[in-house]
Chain A
Amino acid sequence: MNKENIALPVSTTKTKVVRRKKKNLLTPWLFLLPSIVVLGTFLVIPIVEAFHWSLLDYKIIAGTGEFVGLANFKEIFTDTSFWLALWNTILFLIIVLPLNIFLPMILAVLVNQAIKGVSTFRILYYLPVVTPMVVAALMWKMLYSQSGPVSSIFVSLGLFDNPTNLLVQSSTALVAVSAITVWKGLGYYMIIYLAGLQSISKDVYESAEIDGANAFQKFWRITVPMLTPSVTLVSVMTIIAGMKVFEEIALTTGGGPAGATTTLVMYIYNKFMSLDVSIASAAGVVLLLLAIGASLLQMKLTSSREEDLRA
């Protein structure tokens, strides 16, 4: 994975490169040119523009706007639907995070065994990952419909008296949407855990067996603690991806009922659709700050992990 390399500017190539350096000042830029043109035009310029728009009263149709300072930020911070969206995003993460940490871990332990057929199960568990999100969202929308299978199962289990579509009840909609996200990510996080599991030495389990530990004890006392680095990685990835959750909501509930599934990204999307692009940009800046916060957390957690390993 080599994530650590992000933070380290590489200087190891210096000595050997130096002697060619003078005559080839332009060469590295020729290599970089196509990407700089594309990313500069379609990524850097729009990002800078978005920051600019967040300080304007921008009208996308007229293509102009006046400078309004931080008025857009003031507006979103006094908008209850913005706070609801932020709360829904947090709630979504509170639901998804523990499930993403534990369910794929169990899957990884299961498919890490030396028994027949595990490779087939790995493939079957990975299928949702390679499904386009639009398809996953529509499949689950169908499964959730009032006379669909999820509702029938819930009624036969006695959880509901009458057939109910979980997506249209404001009390269950966010949980129902979260289930789609978790379902789609199971196989992906399973692979992350599998890489972690394969780095645990077999000797640890063998000595535990000699001491008479059962499978359950081995899982809780050895596997879970040894997987801490993977848990950190899965958590941070879940948080970063969860903050951007969009398709599974846009295509199932559209943010409803009554804003119950309107997350931060849905809020931005809705503002854009109603052409309040400056408000959308300001909310986007807030989203970016949260994303940067999560990434810094990731760097801090992974670097403290390195220190632990060195000590």
Chain B
Amino acid sequence: MKRKQTTQKIMLYLLMIFISVITVGPFLITLFMALKSPGESIYGTIYPTDPTLSNFTDSFSKANFGLYFLNTFIVTAIAIPLNLLFCSLAAYPLARMDFRGRGVVLSLIIATMMVPFQLYMAPLFQLAGELGLRNSYIGLVVMQVATAFGIYLMRQAYLRIPKELEESAYLDGANRFQVWYRVALPLVKPTLVTLAIFTFMGTWGDYLWPLLNSTESSMYTLSIGLAQLSQNFDGSNLKLISAASILTTIPTLILFMALQKYFISGATDGAVKG
């Protein structure tokens, strides 16, 4: 009996390790590719025989990834605080105040969550041009600084907190904004972290909108830089693409490692997003 259990356990671990090879293997192969020296053949061995960091330094010096990093960082740094502020503000009256038009606003917000970006990308592209937002940081973040999904997520969080806490603050003479800022907002901090993660992931890896709006290479984000680099998908360029891919992923991996708990709880919170 005991022996049977042990074999079963070993089989189980082998299966779990096999699945890990599938989920993590592509990263390792990409990392190995990125570490290969210029003279080494691309598919000779999976691992690098003469490891070098030159592909990583080349992605900065030759492929301009330093600039793309900076652009992506700036866009993300604008998007996160603004989306958190605007969504947590907008969601509050939708959860806690009774006013004419609330139903309409709420329905509109939920309805827009269903609309695929590809429907309105052409009019948005034209609008961004007319407003002078082409090839600008503001132009890049317009889709992320206030999101219907964020408002929905924050509203759900406000609905979960007990009203009594806010009521007692009103009795102490606080106004709406003070109650929101001092009482409600601190209570939804975990959801703010979740929204920050969603905003980060949405902005850092965004592809289609930056592709349309950043027509000049000086305004490329990492995604666009990578896509441009991959136009030539062979030979030594493959090592450079691999290095740039690893560099692009590192910040998201660091964030994931640091905030795992929120990523996991956010996955179920975000299930409505589709």
* List of B residues within 8 angstroms of A3 by Cβ: 271-272
| Minimum CB distance partner of B197 in chain A | A130
In the complex the two chains form, is B97's CB within 8 Å of A246's CB?
no
- Give A65 to B253 CA distance when docked, in angstroms: 47
B65 at interface, CB cutoff 8 A? no
B187 at interface, CB cutoff 8 A? no
In the complex the two chains form, is B142's CB within 8 Å of A38's CB?
yes
B-contact 0/1 string along A157-174, CB 8 Å cutoff: 000000000000000000
Known contacts A132-B204, A243-B116, A287-B118; is A42 also within 8 Å of B143 by CB?
Answer: yes
Listed stretches A23-31, A202-210, A303-311; interface member: A23-31
B106 at interface, CB cutoff 8 A? yes
In the complex the two chains form, is A110's CB within 8 Å of B226's CB?
no
- Give A145 to B115 CA distance when docked, in angstroms: 35
B-contact 0/1 string along A10-47, CB 8 Å cutoff: 11011011101100110111011011101101111111
Known contacts A31-B90, A38-B146, A131-B249; is A269 also within 8 Å of B118 by CB?
Answer: yes
Known contacts A110-B15, A138-B226; is A191 also within 8 Å of B267 by CB?
Answer: yes
- Give A265 to B114 CA distance when docked, in angstroms: 15
Listed stretches A73-81, A92-100, A233-241; interface member: A233-241
B49 at interface, CB cutoff 8 A? no
In the complex the two chains form, is A49's CB within 8 Å of B123's CB?
yes
In the complex the two chains form, is B99's CB within 8 Å of A35's CB?
no
List residues of A (140-154) whose CB comes within 8 Å of B's CBs: 140-143, 145, 147-149
In the complex the two chains form, is A287's CB within 8 Å of B176's CB?
no
In the complex the two chains form, is B112's CB within 8 Å of A44's CB?
yes
B121 at interface, CB cutoff 8 A? yes
A110 to chain B, nearest CB (A): 6
Interface pairs A-B: 8 shortest CB-CB: A132-B205, A28-B93, A284-B119, A240-B274, A49-B123, A35-B90, A46-B120, A38-B146
| Minimum CB distance partner of B143 in chain A | A42
Q: Which of A124, A140, A236, A287 contacts B24 (CB 8 A)?
A: A124
Known contacts A2-B156, A280-B122; is A183 also within 8 Å of B22 by CB?
Answer: yes
| Minimum CB distance partner of B15 in chain A | A110
In the complex the two chains form, is A18's CB within 8 Å of B245's CB?
no
A-contact 0/1 string along B84-105, CB 8 Å cutoff: 0111011011111111001101
* List of B residues within 8 angstroms of A250 by Cβ: 207
In the complex the two chains form, is B274's CB within 8 Å of A27's CB?
no
* List of A residues within 8 angstroms of B230 by Cβ: 138, 141, 251
In the complex the two chains form, is A281's CB within 8 Å of B119's CB?
yes
Total cross-chain contacts (CB, 8 A): 272
In the complex the two chains form, is B163's CB within 8 Å of A34's CB?
no
* List of A residues within 8 angstroms of B90 by Cβ: 31-32, 34-36
Known contacts A42-B127, A60-B122, A132-B249; is A139 also within 8 Å of B27 by CB?
Answer: yes
B20 at interface, CB cutoff 8 A? yes
* List of B residues within 8 angstroms of A141 by Cβ: 230, 233
| Minimum CB distance partner of B246 in chain A | A135
A101 to chain B, nearest CB (A): 15
B102 to chain A, nearest CB (A): 7
B218 to chain A, nearest CB (A): 19
- Give A46 to B268 CA distance when docked, in angstroms: 30
Other than A28-B102, A127-B24, A139-B29, give 8 A-B pairs with Cβ distance below 8 A.
Answer: A31-B90, A130-B252, A130-B253, A139-B245, A148-B43, A192-B268, A287-B116, A295-B114
| Minimum CB distance partner of A140 in chain B | B26
**Can you pick out 7 interface pairs between chain A and chain B where the beta carbons lie within 8 Å of each other?**
A20-B170, A25-B99, A29-B99, A39-B109, A125-B20, A139-B30, A143-B29
A63 at interface, CB cutoff 8 A? yes
In the complex the two chains form, is A134's CB within 8 Å of B223's CB?
yes
In the complex the two chains form, is B126's CB within 8 Å of A60's CB?
yes
B145 at interface, CB cutoff 8 A? yes
* List of B residues within 8 angstroms of A142 by Cβ: 29-30, 33, 233, 238, 241-242
Known contacts A125-B23, A135-B226, A147-B43; is A1 also within 8 Å of B120 by CB?
Answer: no
A183 to chain B, nearest CB (A): 7
In the complex the two chains form, is A53's CB within 8 Å of B115's CB?
no
| Minimum CB distance partner of A45 in chain B | B127
* List of A residues within 8 angstroms of B263 by Cβ: 126, 130
- Give A149 to B147 CA distance when docked, in angstroms: 40
B227 at interface, CB cutoff 8 A? yes
- Give A147 to B115 CA distance when docked, in angstroms: 41
